[in-house]
Chains A and B, each alone.
Chain A
């Protein structure tokens, strides 16, 4: 990194930001220098898990019929995933998927919001490994749900043979197979990853360009730097929106995929 800075910016500024900004060295003294086991990203994942467990257990250690504020907050997260996602999309039998959807939603939401929390400032979801494993879990879940409901062959048929004229089948079957059974986890993972990755890049661009502008010899260019930081602040708020939205989209799409696999008629 240090060498990179000398190459990239004459004023010791890592500008413009690059892909390498997303790959931080391992945290010492655990393991070797660039071991991916213990990095800021994995630590953030554990932090998110610990925070969520602590929040839910604390909020729900003594549930009451008339909830306290903490209990109400925990209930709204679950109630949102249960009623507004699971029941809304999947229908009445969607309630059994609600615990997974709620866990998924709260986990993605918190890790996304890490991207704009001071001193954390990066979302683990900007490493594709994390959206990818979530996408794999969702993929396994909705396929398993479909196979359990219809049986393997009937499920495969329902996912690949839409009600269409038979002449179109040579074209449709590969397309449907590809889009329903191959592409979905990739789009799911890539959408979340790309949003978080791009969000971090944008914040880096504006924050760092503020410093770069300030370091300029030209007074007018120097004077532009507060605007860059203002943009960084505005975009931070925008990132909050993106964080919530992407968590919602991931959860919602998982529910939609579950619904299409267990739907009785295609």
Chain B
């Protein structure tokens, strides 16, 4: 306690002005260096980090938009292709229909032609048969007549009448058939 008086004593709540000066200078140096060379760069780094993250988000958004656009495009293309396919199908159906009609018409024509040809042939054959028959009937009649005449001469009068009628009938028939020709 004696030494207090000898050293003048120290009161801890009274600042030593030299220390305040030293403190101010030292702290000013510290502030200067940190605020000029360190903290602004930290702000830059923080900013860069934020931008990196935001850039990533933006890129993702752009990719998303592009994907959506592509999807729309594909959908449009698909719809287009579908309408086109439907068109083609309709066309094909119409084509098939027309082809069928064509074929049907042709077949009908063909059948008509065949039928007509058949009919013509039939007529021709009938005529040739008729012609042949007429010749044969004549022959047969003559033969029959000769037989009848040869075998039974009795009852001449009756037979004469029969033959005469027959002949007259034949003569009737002959001009008739020649007239049909």
Contacts and interface: CB of A to CB of B under 8 A. Distances in A.
Interface string A127-142: 1111011100100000
Given A78-B42, A103-B31, A137-B27, A129 B15 contact: yes
Contacts of B3: 1, 3-4, 7, 20
A37 B21 CA distance: 9
Contacts of B31: 99-100, 103
Interface residues on B, range: 35 or more
A99 B34 contact: yes
A49 B16 contact: no
B152 interface: no
Contacts of A177: none
A132 B19 CA distance: 10
Contacts of A132: 15, 20
Contact of A128 (B13, B34, B49): B13
Interface in B22-53: 22-24, 26-27, 29-31, 33-35, 37-42, 44-46, 48-49, 52
**Residue picked from A67, A79, A127, most chain B C-beta under 10 Å:** A127
B18 interface: yes
A56 interface: yes
Interface residues of A, number: 51
A107 B17 contact: no
Interface of B: 1-4, 6-7, 10-20, 22-24, 26-27, 29-31, 33-35, 37-42, 44-46, 48-49, 52
Interface of A: 1, 3-4, 7, 19-20, 22-23, 34-37, 39, 41-42, 45-46, 48-49, 52-53, 56-57, 60, 63-65, 67, 74-75, 78-79, 98-100, 102-103, 107, 124, 126-130, 132-134, 137, 190, 193, 197
